[in-house]
Amino acid sequence: MFTGIITDQGKILKLEQRGDRRVRIGTAYDVDSIEIGASVACDGVCLTVVALGSEPQSWFEVQISAESVSRTNLGAWAAGRRVNLERALRVGDELGGHIVSGHVDGVAEVINVRDEGDSTRITLRAPDALAKYIAPKGSVALNGTSLTVNEVSGSEFGVNLIPHTKEVTTWASVATGDAVNLEIDTLARYVARLQESG
């Protein structure tokens, strides 16, 4: 489990196709504190660490199945790309965002980016099947970042990025047309399911 509070911006160092896709990600994390088999959310996708190293910089490797590639934006990853990273929650950690599983529900498209003072307003289009789970003032995880929904109109919804969020995540480089990993709020999913069965 994760919180959607990004704690590092990793950099993709190498990609290989070895049956599944294998990706090496440079990180500021102390790799001595990461174990093989640990979960790390990479742009919001929970991935398993399969190798670690510290030369010439700290890095970890993850293996990505074809299923994960088909349901996320990970197929567009290339060497040099920056990715949002968050390590899994430990007992006693502060829950600063919202409960995030790292199981991406689909891909949203950025359809508008505009500055509002020091902040940036982003409008996205969700897949129709997921739009019903997105509500004003509810939470979503976008590329692993816990964000509050400002407004909803059909399948379109808006979020606001304050300067701090843009500084500590990859969101400073967002552009119209970008594909973004979307995980809906787990609570919203269960409420909708209860309403369907009631």
Q: What is the pLDDT of residues 85-143, one digit of tens each?
A: 999 987 666 777 788 899 999 999 999 999 999 999 999 999 999 999 999 999 999 99
pTM of the model: 0.93
Share of residues in the chain with pLDDT > 70 (%): 93
Phi and psi angles of residue 32, each rounded to the nearest 5 degrees, phi first: -65, -20
* Mean pLDDT of all residues in 31-42: 96
- Domains of the chain plus CATH, in order, are 8-87 (2.40.30.20), 106-197 (2.40.30.20)
Q: 31, exposed or middle or buried, with CB in 10 Å at 0-12, 13-18, 19+? A: middle
Residue among 80, 79, 11 at smallest CA distance from 43: 11
Q: How confident is the model at residue 64 (pLDDT cuts 50, 70, 90)?
A: very high
What confidence score (pLDDT) does residue 178 get? 97
What confidence score (pLDDT) does residue 24 get? 98
List CB contacts of 172: < 8 A, sequence separation 6 or more: 166
Residue among 185, 93, 189 at smallest CA distance from 142: 185
Between these two residues, 55 and 29, which has the higher pLDDT value?
Answer: 29
- Euclidean distance between CA atoms 44 and 103, whole angstroms: 8
Mean pLDDT of the residues in the chain: 92
What confidence score (pLDDT) does residue 186 get? 77
* Mean pLDDT of all residues in 170-187: 94
**Residue 158 near residue 149, CB atoms below 8 Å:** yes
